[in-house]
Amino acid sequence: MIEAGKSVGAQYEEARGAESKADFVHKLGIGLKECRETRYWLRVIDRAKIISDDAPAALLSEAAELCAILGQSILTAKGRHQ
């Protein structure tokens, strides 16, 4: 989960320096996949009660918001506003 979580920010930074719109969309797409993987692992941790406090649920909410932002950014870059 840590690797996937770190990759989201790294892919966003790479997208900021993209060489073309297609490259930008591609890098954001990789970031979105990593965000979804992170969200999956957070759900596993939360449901298994591996951590006893509410941190996984709060992080899961943040991950869901980030996935939504990345997804919308991809649609916007492709010219498909929703």
Give the tens place of pLDDT for each residue, 6-47.
899 999 999 999 999 999 999 999 999 999 999 999 999 988
- Domain 2-77 - what CATH class? mainly alpha
In the predicted structure, residue 81 carries a pLDDT above the cut 70 = no
In the predicted structure, residue 1 carries a pLDDT above the cut 90 = no
Phi, psi of 52, rounded to the nearest 5 degrees: -80, -15
Q: In terms of Cα–Cα distance, which of 52, 48, 69 is closest to 1?
A: 48
Q: Which pLDDT band, with edges at 50, 70 and 90, does 80 fall under?
A: confident
Annotated domain spans of the chain: 2-77
In the predicted structure, residue 82 carries a pLDDT above the cut 60 = no
